[in-house]
Amino acid sequence: MMKTMSCLFLKMNMQMGKVGEKYDIDFVVSTGDNFYDNGLISEHDNAFQESFTKIYTAKSLQKQWYSVLGNHDYRGDAEAQLSPVLREMDSRWLCLRSFIVDSELVEIFFVDTTPFVQEYFTEPKEHKYDWRGIGPQKPYVNNLLNDLELALGESTAKWKIVVGHHAIRSVGHHGDTQELVEKLLPILQANNIDFYINGHDHCLQHISDTESPIQLLTSGAGSKAWRGDIKQTNPRGLNFFYDGQGFMSVKFTQTDATIEFYDVFGNVLHRLTSSKQLHSST
């Protein structure tokens, strides 16, 4: 059984490389909007090389990357990012709609959150979303939730993390994602999830769920940060908010989790620690 695990969440090239080396990370997670502003145009889009392969060149970042799709990715050829052609070009890349990474010590459940959001279907404005592979919205979301609930219930991992692109709770530009508050959060609360990690809002933030031990963590500060807007001045459960660019690291052992938020200079802005008993009480 794996005794420790370290990974990075989201992007900040040089400093990510330094932190990745310091912790000898196992993998990297991207929380979506992988290719800004409108995803990829095809699996042969040069943006894949220019925005991924040629950017994350540090030795410590030559590990597996796990990525979910964001709403901006759905504005391009969403299926291109899922294509094995990209993995042939750069073996680090793995992007799927919803999937599970199980290290025994930690189990990470990646959730495709974009199809949850009703306005992308009913009020797309000038945008065109690539809904191929989704089918009707309601059955897709319901099936996803059913599969997630079953997988969470069967998980025996010491630590359980759910990763999606959209925030459940946020004081940033987009605010709460009401569809996730209503449909996803109750399932997480009922299944002893430790952390929900997302992107979408271009900031770093840590919010404690007021009805469960779940910690809600936003790592969406890889690009276009510094918006200067905040939804509420005194939101419930807010522990940390940073409007600038940065990224997160997460380290797990059998008994402890340490999450650190970094700015572009590699300074630790906020640290969260969580502990569990080594053995469950009988």
Please write the tens of the pLDDT for every residue from 71-124: 999 999 999 999 999 999 999 999 999 999 998 899 999 999 999 999 999 999
pTM of the model: 0.94
Encode pLDDT of 45-86 as tens digits: 999 999 999 999 999 999 999 999 999 999 999 999 999 999
Instruction: Provide the pLDDT confidence category of residue 2 given band limits of 50, 70 and 90.
Output: low
Q: Please state, as a whole number, how many other Cβ atoms lie within 10 Å of the Cβ of residue 254.
A: 15
Domains of the chain, start order: 7-275 (3.60.21.10)
**Residue 228, pLDDT above cutoff 50:** yes
Is 36 annotated for ligand binding? Answer: yes
Residue 71 annotated as lining a ligand binding site? yes
Whether 174 is catalytic is yes
Task: Report how far residue 272's alpha carbon sits from residue 252's, in angstroms, rounded to the nearest whole number.
Answer: 12
Share of the chain above pLDDT 70, in %: 91
Stretch 241-269: mean pLDDT: 94
Overall average pLDDT of the 199-216 stretch? 95
74 is in an annotated binding site: no
Residue 44 in marked binding region = no
What pLDDT was estimated at residue 13?
77
Which one from 174, 206, 270, 279 is the annotated catalytic residue?
174
